[in-house]
A and B are shown apart, each in its own frame.
Chain A
Amino acid sequence: MMNPAAIGQPFDRVDGPLKVSGAATYAAEHPLDHQPLVGWIVEATIPAGRIKALETSAAEASAGVVAVLTHRNSPSQVPFGEPDDEGRFTQSRAMLGSDHIRYHGFPVALVIADTLANARHAAGLVEVTCEPADAVTAAGEEADEKPDELDGGLEADITRGDFEQAYSSAEVTLDVTYSTPNQAAAAMEPHATMAVYDGNELWVYTSVQLIGPAVQVLANTLKLNPDRIRVLSPYIGGGFGSKLGLHNEAILACLGAMYLERPVKVVQHRRQVFHNAPHRGNSVQRIRLGASRDGKLQAISHESFMPTARGYAFAEPSGAPARTTYRTDALVSRHRVKTVDMSLIDSCRAPGHAIGSLAFESAIDEMAYRCGQDPVEFRLANMPEKDPGSGKPFSSHDLAECLREGAARFGWGKRQPQGEVRGRQLVGYGVASTIRMNILVKSKTRIRLSADGTLTAWANMTDIGTGTYTILTQVAADLLGLPAERIEIELGDSAYPASCGSGGSFGAGSSGSALRDACLRLREKLVEIARKQESLKDADFDGALFEGGKLVLGSKQVSLTELVRQGGPDYLEADGKVAPGEDRGKYSQHSYGAQFAEVHVDRDTGEVRVQRLLGVFSAGRILNRKTARSQLLGGMVWGVSYALLEELMLDERYGAFMNRDFAEYHLAVNRDIPEVEIHFREQPDMRSNPLGSKGIGELSISGAGAAVANAVYHATGVRVRDFPITLDKLLEQLP
């Protein structure tokens, strides 16, 4: 009988009932014995400068206020950004450490009171006088600093072949510049932290994707021994990269708790999240393509210009899709950044590919039209034999099949080359290739099978809403032949074995493989115990199976609980781990997909409404068809949002985003999203990890937006190269 929780089954989320009933305690909801104090952040309103005067007496005298923390009285910290030789997630994130204002929204005080209302009101009574300094808030094509490296360890610049020669001799060329705006991660749960300090140990309930670095950054900022810090993040309401590292409110809550030796909670207000958590920087992407008249790509150049936040080394690899998606004789990819006095710029879902694909897959579409070719056929005619950027062979390559299957399922054949007019609606079809690198990250886990038949697994892994609890339950259920009800997955606690955390689409494959390893080791222990049993002396150990809570040996069987009692007697434990192997360096590893969109554009108003979305994805072995589908669905929705809606409106005068709420920072709403079709091409890639799975979390956002943008072009004949494609950019050019 098939285990309903076997790997691949669309098993319901094990934490679903807890979440919908409110029983899952998010960071700000963790129940303490006593109500914590509440902190409210006072933000700087200039982009750069110094605090000249800070008048806190009115706030201190306000009802319910316990303390006003500023750079004058906050506990001693390591200066921001130290030590130099660590990464950005573990370097000091000092808050209130000096009178220096790093960016608009930067905390200049924390008002701590008995209630949220009292803290917030008193925050308005803090008088801050600043001495502004010259600030750079906007970045564009003038960016000319070469970053040391790009996110993910990629090189800033690569050159393959002679681009200038190939480009100048190409029969068909394209030289276009695209831009994408500053964008917010916009996780549902705002960044929130509750800190408890007893004078010795610091306990931090927070919302963070990577637990290990969170401990280290607290130690490095607050001058504490990491052994005295416990970080807990069992439930996370979305992170999308903006919670990879610990952010401002976490440091502030800890400072408050250490200062008062009382629990302090700080939840960022939605308006604060836009500056007190990282965002994705805007990009300018110049793309030059050269091809033969019959549509063979010969030259690809991608030049990226983006901001980088002062003192915080992060450069987004927006050239990533241009480096790997299509064959070419010559390839250039360059990244330049410009240092700005803005809030932190960091990873946002699919750094590089999300916005890189918006521009690059649009430009590829332009080239297809310029060559007079069908956009699907053009892409198919330019599939690479090996990775054009690295020169390495692909561990597997399935992009062409995704495109073919997607085109057939979508009904691409019915596409009218010139678009269609239906009443006052212009109808268009669009396609985009999707590709996202696949990563394995070192991970450990520990499992324990108890004599009562319960299996518990521990890892400092996180579930950011992706379904980690569920797929790990399935890995254990599948490997040990246990029912899901007997499996407890314990995550989000720094006391547990070090795992990869959530990010870069590596969570499921890495943490799942470590758990698989632990299960295999436990199986060995169980078999060993069984071998010693007199009654199983002649059993068929070669065909050993773990099924229905039993070890099945041909015609004989023994329950796992029995084996535990004999070997334990209370429980048996096993440790599992995984680390990148040799294949990582030898092969170029990616997940693939092809995405298709149909849009209607109103001829009168330019309003774009997406009518259909379809994606075919190849991401190795699928661990749970339901949660995998949800991941892909979310990315496709986000792609629609990137194509048509999302933009942080930067007012360069103030270094401030002006639309800091969800009424004005437009995400796609339910009504903007039509029926979405998602298909898997399931092809386990055993070079990826021992489970054969590949990353899916960032896959579909890398292309969905371009499919929509290309459909808008097909419908209207208007190519908008400045995202998002709002109606004002179409209006006066509509046919």
Chain B
Amino acid sequence: MRPFDYQRIGAVEEIGAQASDRASFLAGGTNLVDLMKHEIETPEQLLDISRLDLARIEDGEDGSLQVGTLVTNTALASDARVRQRWPLLSAALLAGATAQLRNRATTGGNLLQRTRCYYFYDTARPCNKRNPGEGCGAFSGHNRIHAILGASEQCIATHPSDMAVAMVALDAGVRLRAPDGSERELPVEELHRLPGDEPQRDTVLAPGELITWVHLPAPPPGRQVYRKVRDRSSYAFALVSVGVILALKDGTVSSVRIAFGGVAHKPWRARKAEAALQGRPATEEAFLKAANAELADAKGYGGNDFKIPLARRTLVAVLRDAAGKTGEARA
């Protein structure tokens, strides 16, 4: 770990010019501290925001919910309102990490966790995300857990969050505060970016910008189902995960939202699949067509080729569950 300065922040207003690209915000620390020990992250300054008054969940307008950035994953997953009206989010949170980590990890930190790519973690190996221009070890190496959608030759890493997948499906937004005190809002879907030729940038956050709140709009109608497919039944990142909110009217899809996890550099909103389903009869055939529409551009890199059929099969299965076709809903 590189030596660093540490400053505890008492109120958001105290954050000014010291928040820069050489500083990192510290909240739960479940990912950042690990990365600092490996000297993958080497901030010169840590701004400890863990004491800020942002660990609250508040009712918002029009049936929405405001989630403070410091709300822990456990608190968010177990909030009665979330469990009742946004069960997709609760299920996604509980599918992530372990109870110990969820007790510590925060909402903002979960959104900003970094990839689990083996080559990103091994500082002796080339990684464009860690060291731009160095090359990508995963491209012709082990890439079983890597992206099939939206990757670039520079980077085929995935975003590891489950929570973010649910948030993208639920049209959640983030409120951001810049060091000069100005604020802006952004859909979570636009927070993360594809790697392109700047894979070192996971998000569109400007230097020193802080996520202060997550906005959950009133849930759309329909059944919410989250399914995470992984090698072991706990403490494994998703090979593929799918979040679906599906409403039917007379056997026809009246409203549908779909997001994938584990397939791209960002939580992947499956708008092509949604468009293919909207207004169509909820049949196995339509589900398959929708999945194929989304995955038409999917590309494997050897070790992760299987994710393309896996994503297709999992989406079909989740849609089937959400449509009540099997009588066996699964969280």
A residues bordering B, Cβ < 8 Å?
43, 45, 63, 117, 120-121, 124, 423-424, 604-607, 609, 644-645, 649, 651, 653-654, 656, 658-661, 663-664, 666, 668-672, 726-728, 731-732
Contact = CB atoms under 8 A, between A and B. Distances in A.
A424 B328 contact: yes
Interface in B95-130: 116, 118-119, 121-122, 124-125
A103 to B, nearest CB: 13
Contact of A670 (B121, B234, B236, B237): B234
B125 A654 contact: yes
21 contacts: A424-B317, A424-B326, A604-B314, A605-B229, A605-B317, A607-B230, A644-B231, A645-B232, A649-B142, A651-B137, A654-B125, A658-B118, A660-B122, A663-B236, A663-B237, A666-B231, A669-B235, A726-B231, A727-B306, A728-B144, A732-B309
B1 A121 contact: yes
B37 interface: yes
A660 B123 CA distance: 12
Interface in B267-325: 306, 309-310, 313-314, 316-317
Nearest to B327: A423
Contacts of A728: 144, 306, 310
B229 A663 contact: no
A413 B287 CA distance: 40
Contacts of B137: 651
Q: Chain B CB within 10 Å — which of A607, A653, A658 has the most? A: A658
Contacts of B144: 649, 728
B326 A607 contact: no
B63 interface: no
Tell me if B's interface is mostly helix, strand, loop or mixed.
loop
B157 interface: no
Given A121-B1, A644-B231, A731-B309, 16 more contacts: A120-B37, A423-B326, A424-B328, A605-B313, A605-B317, A645-B232, A651-B137, A656-B122, A656-B125, A659-B142, A663-B116, A663-B236, A664-B118, A727-B231, A728-B144, A728-B306
B48 to A, nearest CB: 18
Given A423-B326, A604-B317, A651-B141, A727 B310 contact: yes
Contacts of A644: 231-232
Contacts of A651: 125, 137, 141-142
A424 B326 CA distance: 8
Contact of A423 (B118, B119, B141, B328): B328
A604 B314 CA distance: 6
A670 B99 CA distance: 13
B328 A731 contact: no
Given A423-B328, A668-B232, A656 B124 contact: yes
A124 B118 contact: no
A605 B236 contact: no
Interface string B169-201: 000000000000000000000000000000000
B84 interface: no
A727 B234 contact: no
B127 to A, nearest CB: 12
Interface of B: 1-3, 37, 39, 116, 118-119, 121-122, 124-125, 137, 141-142, 144, 229-237, 239, 306, 309-310, 313-314, 316-317, 326-328
Given A609-B233, A654-B125, A727-B231, A604 B1 contact: no
A534 to B, nearest CB: 68
B146 to A, nearest CB: 12
Nearest to A121: B1
A659 B118 contact: yes
B71 to A, nearest CB: 24
Contacts of B116: 663-664
Contact of A658 (B122, B230, B235): B122
A731 B233 CA distance: 17
Contacts of A660: 122
A117 B231 contact: no
A367 to B, nearest CB: 29
B2 A121 contact: yes
A58 B135 CA distance: 28
A455 B125 CA distance: 57
Contacts of B39: 124
B3 A121 contact: yes
Contact of B124 (A45, A63, A607, A669): A45
B141 A671 contact: no
A731 B2 CA distance: 45
A666 B236 CA distance: 8
Given A604-B313, A663-B235, A726-B231, A653 B141 contact: yes
A181 B144 CA distance: 15
A47 to B, nearest CB: 12
B323 to A, nearest CB: 14
B148 to A, nearest CB: 13
Nearest to A609: B233
B119 A671 contact: no
B261 to A, nearest CB: 14
Nearest to A606: B310
A670 B144 CA distance: 24
A672 B142 contact: no
Contacts of A672: 232-234
Nearest to A124: B39
For the complex of A and B, the 10 pairs showing the least CB-CB separation, nearest first, are A728-B306, A604-B317, A45-B124, A658-B118, A671-B233, A671-B234, A649-B142, A605-B229, A669-B234, A604-B313
Given A605-B314, A654-B125, A658-B141, A649 B118 contact: yes
B304 to A, nearest CB: 9
A645 B231 CA distance: 7
Nearest to B160: A663
A653 B119 CA distance: 13
A201 B66 CA distance: 66
A120 B39 CA distance: 10
A434 B117 CA distance: 38
A117 B1 contact: yes
Contacts of B1: 117, 120-121
A732 B234 CA distance: 24
Contact of A607 (B37, B141, B229, B316): B229
Contacts of A726: 231
A649 B37 CA distance: 23
A728 B239 CA distance: 10
A266 B195 CA distance: 40
A532 to B, nearest CB: 64
Contact of A604 (B124, B232, B316): B316
Contacts of B237: 663
B32 to A, nearest CB: 15
Nearest to A730: B306
Contacts of A45: 124
Contacts of B313: 604-605, 731
A670 B118 CA distance: 24
Contacts of B121: 661
Contacts of A731: 306, 309-310, 313
A289 B327 CA distance: 45
A45 B122 CA distance: 10
A649 B144 CA distance: 10
A437 to B, nearest CB: 31
